[in-house]
Amino acid sequence: MHASTQPSIPINGRFSSLVIKISIPTSPAWAHDVVVNATVAWNLAQVWQSSAGPTYTFVEANDGSATAKVSYDMPKAYAGIAVGWTNYNFEPGSRTSVKSTQTYLDPNVFNAAQAGNLTARQYAFWLAIHELGRVLGLGSILDSSDIMDPMATPARALDPPMFSTLDLYAVHVLASGSAPAFVTLPSDVQNQRVDARTFLSPAQPQTPVPEFQSYYGMIATICTMVALMIIRRRK
């Protein structure tokens, strides 16, 4: 039994390489960009949280060298129980050292027909962030405001995709070389949350298509783009 006054999250395993090459289907284009945005959010959130500490970095690689693969196809074994699923392939003789992963994302969400559906795109971003947390080795935490909560119902399209201090701290522990059964937040650290969308910006060249989570977000992004254009013209 695991007991602590501070929040904890179970660990499924860890990649030994800090660079995780990920294969993302290029079609449909909007779905590809949503998953890329999710990798950017995880990359930048880790740097923001751990300062100069070790971090994992997702790098897209569709040349056959990827160790993390994504597909928009849900096997029948999972179709009735999940809208996202990640399988682990461990190194021989190990139950913590991850050799590769395979992530499945619901084709009912990640398909060409949903390109103009704002709600579907929001939900897709939430799912992609969640499953990439699985790729990084994170288990589930029963906290409806945390991105690693497993209840990924369509209603989550209305929820902001929130990283918690616990999530980012746990990934930092894994990047540092440890893979305990649980990671518990230190007693002097408060478990706070940050919206994953704050790490996506038109100013970030890694972000191919900013995901508009609401009309407010769309207006804010347009204003940012206009401001950047004005600044560039003044230079």
Calpha distance 58→206 (Å, rounded)? 11
pLDDT in tens, the chain (235 residues): 445 589 999 999 999 999 999 999 999 999 999 999 999 999 999 999 987 799 999 999 989 999 999 999 999 999 888 999 999 999 999 999 999 999 999 999 999 999 999 889 999 999 999 999 999 999 999 998 999 999 877 778 888 999 999 999 999 999 999 999 999 999 999 999 999 999 986 544 444 443 433 333 333 333 433 333 333 333 3
* 59 close to 22: Cβ distance less than 8 angstroms: yes
DSSP state of 195: E
**CATH superfamily, region 8-234:** Collagenase (Catalytic Domain) (3.40.390.10)
pTM of the model: 0.84
Query: According to the model, what pLDDT value does residue 215 have?
Result: 34
Q: Hey, is 191 helix, strand or coil?
A: coil
Identity at 156, one-letter amino acid code: R
Could you state, in order of their start, the residue ranges of all structural domains in the chain?
A: 8-234
DSSP reduced 3-state for 187: coil
